[in-house]
Structure 1
Amino acid sequence: MTTMEPALARRRAALGPARMVGGVLALGLAISLLTGAPDARADNLDDQQAALQAESDRVQASLEFVDSGIAKAAGDLVIYQGRLPGAQQALLEAQGKVASAVKDVDALAARVELAQQNKATITSQLESDKQKITDTKKLIGQIASQAYKSGGVPTNVALLFGSNETGSLTESMDLADQAMRSQNAAMTKLTQQNATNVNSQARLAAVEQEIQDLKAKADAALEREKAARDDAASKKADVDKLIDDTTRLNGQLQAAKPGIEANLAKVKAAQDSVAAEIQDRDRKLREAWEAEQRRLAEQAAAAAQAAAAAQGRPAPPQAPYVAPPAGSPSAFGLIHPFAGQVPITSGFGWRATPPGTIDFYGTGGYLHTGIDFGVACGTPVYAAAAGTVFNSGWNSADGGGWRVKLSHGVIQGNSLTTIYYHNSSIVVANGQQVAQGQLIAYSGSTGNSTGCHAHFETWLNGVAVDPMTLL
């Protein structure tokens, strides 16, 4: 094991024994809970969150008159279910980053090991070359010493070649020549060895720098691995919490079904009562209006006959009474019940059965008979048109809390009623005449409400219609 390996091992041990954060997720449970959940596959995270929140608001609005706690649980369940697929995907991606980081660490460790081996080889080669240089220098020194002592050519030069015999001058000169060639060869060899030594030193410096760089990269890779593991652990915790929360809320809603059914029955009865009250009142108002129109028509006909008789002309034939056609509801001139622009958090219309709850009245859904304005508690509420307060105060039966009901009479054959729910307080009384734009209440979160808002309804000719078509 190299000097780098223990450090890598210690660092890796500090990161935990497992290379991948995992464990078997309860995907079967998650999939079963996601049935009917909203599509959260939007272009970006903000769009996804907005879509989930809108769906949660829709679900809560559909249950706002039933039970505020159940409405909140159902809305939260929608959000948790919608977030779960994204959280699971994020976990998979985080685990992939852990695997990539581990791969980088292992690759760098292998490169450090190889560089350490290269360093050992070069160091060994340098020691060997050092000894060779020492031996060569020693040989050159011997030749130079003998040459100096003999005035240029050693008399016993044969000793350098392993010969102890003496011969002729020619032989001595040959030996001297061989000695010079040997000395030159030794000098050439020394130059080459020195060059090799310089090259090896450079290679050693480069390898040592490479090892230093690789160690720095390995440390950085270990940090990335640790960060990836921490991130994966956090993502897994998110998934586990979402599964726990959806399981808990789903169980809560399942357990609350009997209570929801009972509340639905009460709310349905209260809504039917409200509708009947409005329909009966509007019917009588329209009948009175039609009677007045008939009276006026008959009065006009009688006046025409009297005028003809006074002029000695035959009386015009009296045509049968025909009720005038209803005019446009825009004649009421409704204004927004709030000063300035306020957001609509839940619109008018049909609401399908929220996931995790029960079928509304056995119909598969529920009509949200008004719109919800996202206003803060204590916001002034104004009369959308002039009218008469015919039903105001607290009513726990329909879950609307402090509410005001205004009758706007009949205009051009149309009757109109507006209702304002969940107020924190009201400032008008039954029978009071109010002008358009007059303060009638302050918004709140009373009754079965999950937060500050205002529920506003418009009933045209005894039927709930979308207020936005009249405002």
Structure 2
Amino acid sequence: MGSALVLTLTLSLGAVPAAHADSLEDQQKALQDQAARVQDSLEFVDAKIAKAAGDLVVYQGQLPGAQQALLAAQGRVATATSEVQAMAARVDMAQQNKAKITEQMNTDKQKLASTKKLIGQIASQAYKSGGVPSDLSLFFGADGTGSLTDTMDLADQALRAQNSAMDKLSQQNATNVNSQARLVAVEAEIKDLKAKADAALAREQAARDDAASKKAAVDKLVSDTTALNNQLQAAKPGIQKKLASVQSAQNEVAAQIKERDRKLREAWEAEQRRKAAEAAAAAAAAQAAAEAAAAKAGQAAPPAPPTPPAYTPSQGSPSAFGLRHPFSGDIPITSGFGWRATPPGTIDFYGTGGYMHTGIDFGAACGTPVYAAAAGEVTVGGWTNYGGGNTVMISHGVVQGNSLTTVYYHNSSVVVSPGMRVSQGQLIAYSGTTGNSTGCHAHFETWLNGSPADPMTLL
């Protein structure tokens, strides 16, 4: 009666392979399902150990994915660091370009100032002399003793010098405007590069923070897995002892159900034989009376009617019990009936490769009303000592040669008592998480002719 007939525990770090599924949600569900199977195997033994064993399966299944996520995060850190370094190099190159342009502009400014000074001097002398300066030696080193022709040549040279200076000034102005435009462009580039560098630094920091978070998650998984593994290793002798005790108690209850149902079927069969014998005796008496009456009247004896058949043991369909669902509304099944193979990487303490889940678990919230699946007599109504907590057991007698018992485990409270007759659909308990249970749910069993049967084939 219980799903504790076989215990499976992971006893080596990383022994349980990661669940394979298409999406992260599917992987998580597969891990949770696997953990639930492990917990089912310990449902009636020890709630804390059952949860630890289930958590261990989940942690071990999550560890490879967490390690892969950490590697990916570390890769993103490396990429972000390279990006930061590249941006820093580009900023440095742009700064060097700015320095060169600034230096060239300063040189050009000096040349521009010199040219303006020269033009100013030429203009000033021209103004003072009323035209071309008389003292051309100021610019050309003349001693002022030459002829008029020489003076005119000097004047021409002065004009050419002025025009050349003006051309040079114009070129320098153009160069200065171009340099200024280049400087503005470089400064804009530097500003943009610095913004990108700041963004790259932020991405690098975010990547480092993410990697640190993922490393902490991996470290915690390793730590938790190691701790749980050590806990289960230390608890193993006690679990084995508890398993033996629980199994012994459950076997005793199973034997009681089997024996009670056997007696019920025997009594039912005896009653069927008695009724068949009574029918045969009544038919024989009627035939004898008819024959005596015919003889007294001098008539021929009437033909004998067919002899009623003797009772032959047979069984009809178990569906004749007409079971109803023990809950109102749509309560999901969280664990079905049947044999469960030992998950890969776990240790089967009984060496049978799995365990038998002898009922079905409904994901009923604590306090959900529980109703009798059929009319019958309550044989257990209250606390039990083999892991089921507050339990209700109902014997539904024999129908068409089949005997049936239903069992309802882990209830928060029970509202019936042994010896009570209940009708189908009558409130018998409220679901809960008593006994060795890891959470609110209802474990429901159907025992047909003394053996556990899948309730879904009878509901």
Both structures adopt the same fold (TM-score exceeding 0.5): yes
Secondary structure of residue in 2 paired with 1:33: coil
Tell me which of 118, 126, 132 is aligned to 2:97. Answer: 118
Give the Cα separation in 2 of the matches to 1:163 and 1:329: 139
Secondary structure of residue in 2 paired with 1:39: coil
Report the structure number with the largest CA radius of gyration: 2
Secondary structure of residue in 2 paired with 1:408: strand
Partner residue, 2:16: 36
Partner residue, 1:197: 176
- The root-mean-square deviation of aligned C-alpha atoms, in Å, is 2.6
Secondary structure of residue in 1 paired with 2:328: coil
Q: Are the structure 2 counterparts of residues 36 and 299 from structure 1 closer, same or farther at C-alpha, using a change threshold of 3 Å? A: farther
In the TM superposition, what is the alpha-carbon distance from 1:125 to its structure 2 partner? Answer: 0.7
Code of the aligned partner of 2:180: Q
Partner residue, 1:417: 405
In the TM superposition, what is the alpha-carbon distance from 1:439 to its structure 2 partner? Answer: 1.7
Q: In the alignment, is the contact (CA less than 8 A) between 1:250 and 1:356 conserved in 2?
A: no
Question: What whole-Å deviation, never above 9, does each CA across 1:146-189 have from its counterpart, x for those lacking one?
Answer: 33344433344465344547544444434333332222221111
In the TM superposition, what is the alpha-carbon distance from 1:131 to its structure 2 partner? Answer: 0.6
Partner residue, 1:368: 357
Partner residue, 2:303: 314
Question: What whole-Å deviation, never above 9, does each CA across 1:80-116 have from its counterpart, x for those lacking one?
Answer: 1122122112211221222222122212211221121
In the TM superposition, what is the alpha-carbon distance from 1:369 to its structure 2 partner? Answer: 0.6
In the TM superposition, what is the alpha-carbon distance from 1:210 to its structure 2 partner? Answer: 2.6
Identity of aligned residues (%): 72
Partner residue, 1:399: 387
Tell me which of 225, 231, 234 is aligned to 1:252. Answer: 231
Q: For structure 1, which segment, 239-248 or 181-190, has the greater mean C-alpha deviation from structure 2 after superposition?
A: 181-190
Q: Are the structure 2 counterparts of residues 135 and 319 from structure 1 closer, same or farther at C-alpha, using a change threshold of 3 Å? A: same
Task: Return 5+ residue gaps in structure 1 as ranges.
Answer: 1-29
Q: Are the structure 2 counterparts of residues 430 and 252 from structure 1 closer, same or farther at C-alpha, using a change threshold of 3 Å? A: same
Tell me which of 358, 364, 367 is aligned to 1:378. Answer: 367
Tell me which of 298, 305, 315 is aligned to 1:326. Answer: 315
1:59 maps onto 2:38 in alignment: yes
Give the Cα separation in 2 of the matches to 1:282 and 1:360: 32
Secondary structure of residue in 1 paired with 2:350: helix
In the TM superposition, what is the alpha-carbon distance from 1:255 to its structure 2 partner? Answer: 1.6
Give the Cα separation in 2 of the matches to 1:300 and 1:187: 145
Code of the aligned partner of 1:377: C
Code of the aligned partner of 1:153: V
Q: In the alignment, is the contact (CA less than 8 A) between 2:15 and 2:345 conserved in 1?
A: no
Partner residue, 2:49: 70
Q: For structure 1, which segment, 280-289 or 406-415, has the greater mean C-alpha deviation from structure 2 after superposition?
A: 280-289
Partner residue, 1:447: 435
Q: Are the structure 2 counterparts of residues 162 and 294 from structure 1 closer, same or farther at C-alpha, using a change threshold of 3 Å? A: farther
Q: How many residues align?
A: 440
Give the Cα separation in 2 of the matches to 1:369 and 1:254: 27
Code of the aligned partner of 2:228: L
Secondary structure of residue in 2 paired with 1:241: helix
In the TM superposition, what is the alpha-carbon distance from 1:468 to its structure 2 partner? Answer: 1.9
Tell me which of 78, 91, 97 is aligned to 1:99. Answer: 78
In the TM superposition, what is the alpha-carbon distance from 1:452 to its structure 2 partner? Answer: 2.4
Tell me which of 248, 263, 266 is aligned to 1:287. Answer: 266
Q: Are the structure 2 counterparts of residues 32 and 277 from structure 1 closer, same or farther at C-alpha, using a change threshold of 3 Å? A: closer
In the TM superposition, what is the alpha-carbon distance from 1:193 to its structure 2 partner? Answer: 0.5
In the TM superposition, what is the alpha-carbon distance from 1:260 to its structure 2 partner? Answer: 1.4
1:261 maps onto 2:254 in alignment: no
In the TM superposition, what is the alpha-carbon distance from 1:325 to its structure 2 partner? Answer: 4.6
* Larger relative contact order, structure 1 or 2 (CA cutoff 8 Å, min sep 6): 2
Q: In the alignment, is the contact (CA less than 8 A) between 2:283 and 2:308 conserved in 1?
A: no
Question: What whole-Å deviation, never above 9, does each CA across 1:358-393 have from its counterpart, x for those lacking one?
Answer: 424221211111112222333322111101112333
Q: Are the structure 2 counterparts of residues 345 and 331 from structure 1 closer, same or farther at C-alpha, using a change threshold of 3 Å? A: same
Q: In the alignment, is the contact (CA less than 8 A) between 2:361 and 2:441 conserved in 1?
A: yes
Give the Cα separation in 1 of the matches to 2:384 and 2:255: 16
Code of the aligned partner of 2:362: F
Residues 148-167 of structure 1 mapped to structure 2, 5 A cutoff: 148-157=127-136, 159-164=138-143, 167=146
Secondary structure of residue in 1 paired with 2:56: helix
Question: What whole-Å deviation, never above 9, does each CA across 1:373-430 have from its counterpart, x for those lacking one?
Answer: 222333322111101112333221x211221111111112221110111223322222
Code of the aligned partner of 2:432: G
Q: In the alignment, is the contact (CA less than 8 A) between 1:74 and 1:354 conserved in 2?
A: no
Give the Cα separation in 2 of the matches to 1:326 and 1:164: 149
Q: Are the structure 2 counterparts of residues 360 and 387 from structure 1 closer, same or farther at C-alpha, using a change threshold of 3 Å? A: farther
Question: What whole-Å deviation, never above 9, does each CA across 1:167-221 have from its counterpart, x for those lacking one?
Answer: 4444443433333222222111111111111221222222223323333332332
Give the Cα separation in 2 of the matches to 1:457 and 1:42: 35
Q: In the alignment, is the contact (CA less than 8 A) between 1:353 and 1:360 conserved in 2?
A: no
Secondary structure of residue in 2 paired with 1:399: coil
User: Runs in 1 of length 4+ with deviation above 6 angstroms?
Assistant: none
Residues 198-217 of structure 1 mapped to structure 2, 5 A cutoff: 198-217=177-196
Q: In the alignment, is the contact (CA less than 8 A) between 1:393 and 1:404 conserved in 2?
A: yes
Give the Cα separation in 2 of the matches to 1:94 and 1:31: 30
Residues 324-363 of structure 1 mapped to structure 2, 5 A cutoff: 325-353=314-342, 358-363=347-352
Tell me which of 253, 275, 278 is aligned to 2:257. Answer: 278
